[in-house]
């Protein structure tokens, strides 16, 4: 069982005490499952910003756009070159002509009407025409690669969200120059992590997969069921404690990250 439970927090605590629960209530902290700092992959000037603090965003959603007039022009030029097939058609026509000419010369050569050297020249012309055709095709493939490269350079000027989450901070506005410093911070809160610092006496008693009731500081009537996902294998000697992490589903994103809480394992 995971998620929110519509019960009174004090009732849960009282029930645990009445049944002789051996696990005390631990102080804890609810944090986003993941926090991502997003910067621009290229330097430039911001032309548009589509989101602001506290906005929900989806993976792949546009967050901002850099000024891209030069890159858009480069894409148009590269696309025009990639679509041109005239050189290939010219070389195909030339090859077809030289092959027909060779066929006639071979026929005449078989009748001893042309010299072997003329037949050799015709065969060489066909070979050269084939090379020219292949060169034209190679050149066209290069222009297609240049087109893809230009599109990739343009795409890098659109900043997109790598995850579903909430915009925590936005540090730049349209007209500002951006470099490799973070522009947005996004927190993923559909899944939260709950951090506990537990006394060493409980080491070995807490196992991955155990469940806990989590009581956020802002809630008085709701308890949340979380699952132990990580138990630290190293004891912090100075404090005599170890850390435990709980996984807390938050599909409706009702709970924010950064809350203090209490947790009781059961």
Which tens digit of pLDDT belongs to each residue from 220-244? 677 899 999 999 999 999 999 999 9
- Residue 252: per-residue pLDDT: 83
Cα–Cα distance for residue pair 198/37, rounded to 1 Å: 30
Q: Which helix (H) or strand (E) holds 230?
A: strand 223-231
Q: Cβ distance 210 to 227 under 8 Å?
A: yes
Cα–Cα distance for residue pair 208/245, rounded to 1 Å: 9
Q: pLDDT (tens digit, 9 = 90+) per residue, 68-125?
A: 999 999 999 999 999 999 999 999 999 999 999 999 999 998 988 889 999 999 999 9
Cα–Cα distance for residue pair 86/48, rounded to 1 Å: 40
Residue 169 pLDDT greater than 80, yes or no: yes
Q: Which two tokens stand for residue 212?
A: 């806990």
Count of CA atoms in the C-beta half-sphere (13 A) of 139? 14
Helices (H) and strands (E) in the chain, counts: 4, 13
Q: What share of the chain is helix, strand, coil (3-state, %, to 5)?
A: 35, 35, 30
- Residue 1: per-residue pLDDT: 42
> Dihedral (C-alpha) 175, 180, 186, 191: value to the nearest 10 degrees?
160
Distance linking the first and last C-alpha atoms of the chain: 12
| The CATH number of the domain covering residues in 3-65+166-265 | 2.40.30.170
Residue that wins the pLDDT comparison between 25 and 17: 25
Residue 3 pLDDT greater than 80, yes or no: no
Share the mean pLDDT of the chain. 90
What proportion of the chain, given as a percentage, has pLDDT over 90?
A: 79
Least confident of 15-29, 140-154, 200-214, 215-229: 15-29
Residue 5 pLDDT greater than 60, yes or no: no
> Could you tell me the pTM of the whole model?
0.71
Residues β-bridged to residue 151: none
Least confident of 1-10, 39-48, 95-104, 168-177: 1-10
**Average pLDDT over every residue of 135-149:** 96
Q: Cβ distance 263 to 194 under 8 Å?
A: yes
What proportion of the chain, given as a percentage, has pLDDT over 70?
A: 91
Q: How confident is the model at residue 8 (pLDDT cuts 50, 70, 90)?
A: low
Residue in 186, 184, 166 with CA at minimum distance from that of residue 255: 166
Residue in 132, 103, 257 with CA at minimum distance from that of residue 192: 257
**Average pLDDT over every residue of 121-148:** 96
**Average pLDDT over every residue of 3-16:** 51
Residue 40 pLDDT greater than 80, yes or no: yes
Q: What are phi and psi of 109, to 5 degrees?
A: -65, -35
Q: Within 10 Å of residue 154's Cβ, how many Cβ atoms?
A: 18
Residue 20 pLDDT greater than 80, yes or no: no
> Dihedral (C-alpha) 165, 259, 227, 239: value to the nearest 10 degrees?
130
**Average pLDDT over every residue of 128-140:** 97
């Amino acid at each position: 069982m995971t998620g929110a439970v519509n019960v009174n927090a004090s009732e849960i605590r009282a029930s645990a005490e009445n049944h002789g629960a051996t696990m005390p209530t631990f102080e804890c902290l609810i944090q986003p499952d993941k926090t991502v700092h997003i910067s621009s992959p290229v330097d430039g000037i911001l032309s548009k910003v589509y989101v602001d603090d506290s906005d929900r965003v989806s993976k792949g959603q546009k967050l901002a756009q850099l000024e891209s007039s030069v890159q858009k022009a480069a894409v148009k030029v590269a696309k025009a070159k990639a679509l041109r097939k005239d050189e290939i058609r010219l070389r195909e026509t030339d090859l077809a002509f030289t092959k027909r000419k060779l066929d006639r010369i071979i026929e005449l050569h078989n009748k001893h009407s042309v010299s072997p050297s003329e037949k050799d020249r015709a065969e060489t012309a066909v070979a050269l025409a084939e090379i020219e055709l292949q060169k034209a095709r190679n050149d066209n493939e290069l222009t297609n690669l240049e087109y893809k490269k230009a599109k990739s350079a343009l795409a890098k000027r659109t900043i997109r969200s790598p995850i579903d989450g909430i915009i925590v901070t936005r540090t730049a506005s349209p007209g500002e120059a951006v470099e490799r410093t973070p522009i947005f911070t996004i927190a993923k809160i559909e899944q939260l992590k709950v951090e506990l610092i537990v006394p060493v006496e409980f080491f070995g008693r807490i196992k991955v997969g155990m469940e806990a009731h989590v009581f956020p500081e802002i809630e008085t009537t709701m308890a949340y069921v979380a699952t132990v996902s990580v138990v630290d294998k190293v004891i912090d000697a100075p404090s005599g404690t170890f850390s435990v992490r709980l996984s807390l589903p938050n599909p409706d994103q009702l709970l924010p990250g950064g809350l203090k809480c209490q947790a009781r394992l059961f």
